[in-house]
């Protein structure tokens, strides 16, 4: 009986898995052809639309362009387009169409031409499979060897292939899954994101700031120094450039694992998670701090937290970054206007002894619950819900300084 009621809330979610590929030499060639053809198609038809618009003040839509694409494949000078998956090319046209629509709706900038340096990716929208550690997609008869480091749940859908600057191949697999949301715990928490610790909850649970960047930093600095001595464009330059890119990729992958683990745990343990709406972009403009902030990856973390909360019917509530969470005593509400930034522990006017970060986390929780009860919360974190005041690129002045001292 109880078992049955547990499955009432099952819902459909989409998950993306990213795995590294180990393509054979001939498969690398074919993958590269796909990257090239997709880029060609995208740029060719973007150009076509631009020219058409200049002449007629309107341009072909997806269906008209798909027809032209079929014609293009019959012409001798572009017959090589037939060597790659036709659905992949159509998908590129669709992306172009979407980019146009987004532009006209004011959601994004005018579509740009794809360059080999910036963008190497293509999508296979249909007829994809993952079997025995191999990716099966049209045109790749043998299947591409894939390092499946986590179990893939649900139904496999479209796949996007990419090549990193270091020359590694990856696949992103989109799945549709019948998901059983985690059970409610009845627990709520405030989370203070910091640099001393990555995060601390109002329960006093600390998540360490992973300093893997520090470990790789020396490697990176050394590799970059070597790169600067090489002649731009030479073979050794290109090789060294790939080495630098490889270290960057390493750092980013390790970091993501940590962010996934912390966000997973918070969503498992709490029903409501309140945190400060920090403006990472604003902080990144401060060059000295940017490395540390990138390291802590707040923006990505909040994004992970939000979609996991969404899957599990839990709430993430963001509070205004100008709220003085560190300066306010969470017991009596007294505000310490002279709180020195290096102070980790302080005593309020009424004698309450406060740990700086824990106190902030407790205040964040209080403020979060207040927002929820007043019904003015921004649960999704979307920019559309924010007031123009909040859109300003300000950072809580305190955040700046505490980072500088951290």
Catalytically active residues are 192, 276, 357
| Distance between CA atoms of residues 204 and 186, nearest Å | 17
How far is 312 from 9, CA to CA, in rounded Å?
Answer: 10
Residue 249 near residue 292 (C-beta atoms within 8 A): no
Shortest Cβ 200–Zn ion spacing (Å):
19
Element (H, E) at 156: strand 155-163
CB 379, CB 317: distance < 8 Å: yes
Query: For strand 272-276 and strand 188-193, is the pairing parallel, antiparallel, or unpaired?
Result: parallel
Contacting Zn ion (CB under 5 A), which of 352, 370, 386, 400? Answer: 352
Which residue, 123 or 359, is less far from Zn ion as judged by CB?
359
Nearest to 321 by CA among 379, 264, 372, 360: 360
> Near Zn ion by CB under 5 A, which window of 17-25, 217-225, 310-318, 331-339?
331-339
Q: Which residue of 234, 265, 350, 385 would you call a contact of Zn ion, by CB under 5 A? A: 350
DSSP 8: G
Could you tell me the smallest distance in angstroms from the CB atom of residue 334 to Zn ion? Answer: 5
Only segment of 210-218, 254-262, 289-297, 330-338 that touches Zn ion (CB under 5 A): 330-338
Question: Rounded distance, CA 296 to CA 17, Å?
Answer: 22
First to last CA, the chain: 53
Tell me the window of 34-42, 88-96, 267-275, 352-360 that interacts with Zn ion (CB under 5 A).
Answer: 352-360
| Interaction pattern, residues 282-321, with Zn ion; x per rule: CB under 5 A | ----------------------------------------
Q: For the segment 51-110, give every residue that binds Zn ion (CB under 5 A).
A: none
Minimal distance, residue 331 CB to Zn ion, in Å: 4
- Examine residue 335 and tell whether it contacts Zn ion (CB under 5 A): no
Residues 6 or more apart in contact with residue 405 via CB below 8 angstroms:
341, 342
Output 156 or 329, the one with its CB closest to Zn ion: 329
From 3-11, 35-43, 170-178, 341-349, span contacting Zn ion (CB under 5 A): 341-349
Q: Which residues have a Cβ under 8 Å from the Cβ of 73 and sit 6 or more positions away?
A: 79, 81, 82, 86
* Closest CB to Zn ion among residues 265, 350: 350
Please, what is the minimum distance in Å from the beta carbon of residue 326 to Zn ion? Answer: 13
Q: Which of 332, 343, 353, 401 binds Zn ion (CB under 5 A)?
A: 332
331 binds Zn ion (CB under 5 A): yes
Q: Strand, helix or coil at 121? A: strand
DSSP letter for each residue of 142-204 = T-EEEE--SPPPSEEEEEEEEE-TTS-EEEEEEEEEEE-PPPP---EEEEEE-SSEEEEETT-
At its nearest, how many Å lie between Zn ion and the CB of residue 260? Answer: 37
- Name beta bridge partners: 32: none
Options 112-120, 146-154, 243-251, 348-356: segment touching Zn ion (CB under 5 A):
348-356
**Exactly one of 259, 329, 364, 403 binds Zn ion (CB under 5 A); which one?**
329
State how far the Cα of 16 lies from the Cα of 124, in Å rounded to an integer. Answer: 14
Give the residues lining the site for Zn ion (CB under 5 A). 329, 331-332, 334, 348, 350, 352
């Amino acid at each position: 009986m109880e078992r049955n009621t547990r499955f009432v809330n099952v819902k459909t979610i989409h998950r993306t898995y990213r795995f590294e590929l180990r393509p054979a030499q001939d498969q690398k060639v074919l993958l590269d052809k796909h990257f090239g053809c997709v880029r060609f198609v995208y740029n060719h038809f973007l150009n076509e639309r631009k020219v058409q618009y200049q002449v007629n003040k309107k341009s072909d839509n997806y269906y008209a362009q798909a027809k032209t694409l079929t014609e293009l494949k019959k012409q001798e000078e572009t017959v090589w387009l037939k060597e790659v998956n036709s659905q992949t090319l159509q998908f590129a046209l669709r992306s172009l169409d979407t980019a146009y629509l987004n532009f006209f709706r004011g959601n994004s900038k005018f579509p740009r031409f794809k360059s080999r340096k910036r963008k190497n990716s293509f999508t296979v929208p249909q007829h994809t499979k993952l079997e025995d550690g191999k990716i099966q997609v049209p045109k790749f008869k043998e299947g591409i060897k894939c390092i499946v480091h986590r179990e893939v749940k649900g139904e496999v859908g479209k796949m996007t292939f990419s090549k990193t600057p270091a020359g590694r191949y990856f696949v992103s697999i989109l799945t549709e899954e019948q998901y059983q949301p985690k059970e409610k715990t009845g627990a709520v928490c405030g989370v203070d994101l910091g640099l001393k610790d990555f995060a601390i909850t109002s329960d006093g649970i600390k998540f360490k700031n992973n300093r893997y960047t520090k470990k790789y930093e020396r490697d990176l600095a050394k590799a970059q120094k070597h790169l600067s001595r090489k002649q731009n464009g030479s073979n050794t330059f290109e090789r060294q450039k790939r080495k630098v890119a490889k270290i960057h990729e390493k750092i980013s992958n390790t970091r993501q694992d940590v962010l996934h683990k912390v966000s997973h745990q918070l969503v498992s343990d709490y029903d409501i998670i309140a945190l400060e709406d920090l403006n990472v972009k604003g902080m990144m403009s401060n060059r000295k701090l940017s490395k540390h902030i990138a390291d802590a990856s707040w923006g990505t973390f909040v994004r992970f937290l939000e979609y996991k909360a969404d899957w599990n019917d839990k709430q993430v509530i963001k509070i205004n970054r100008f709220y003085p969470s560190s300066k306010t005593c969470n017991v009596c509400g007294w505000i310490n206007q002279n709180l020195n930034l290096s102070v980790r522990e302080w005593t309020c006017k009424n004698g309450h002894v406060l740990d700086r970060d824990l106190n902030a986390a407790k205040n964040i929780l209080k403020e979060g619950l207040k927002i929820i009860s007043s019904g003015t919360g921004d649960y999704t974190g979307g920019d559309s819900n924010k007031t123009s005041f909040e859109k300003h690129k300000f950072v809580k002045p305190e955040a700046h300084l505490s980072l500088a001292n951290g």
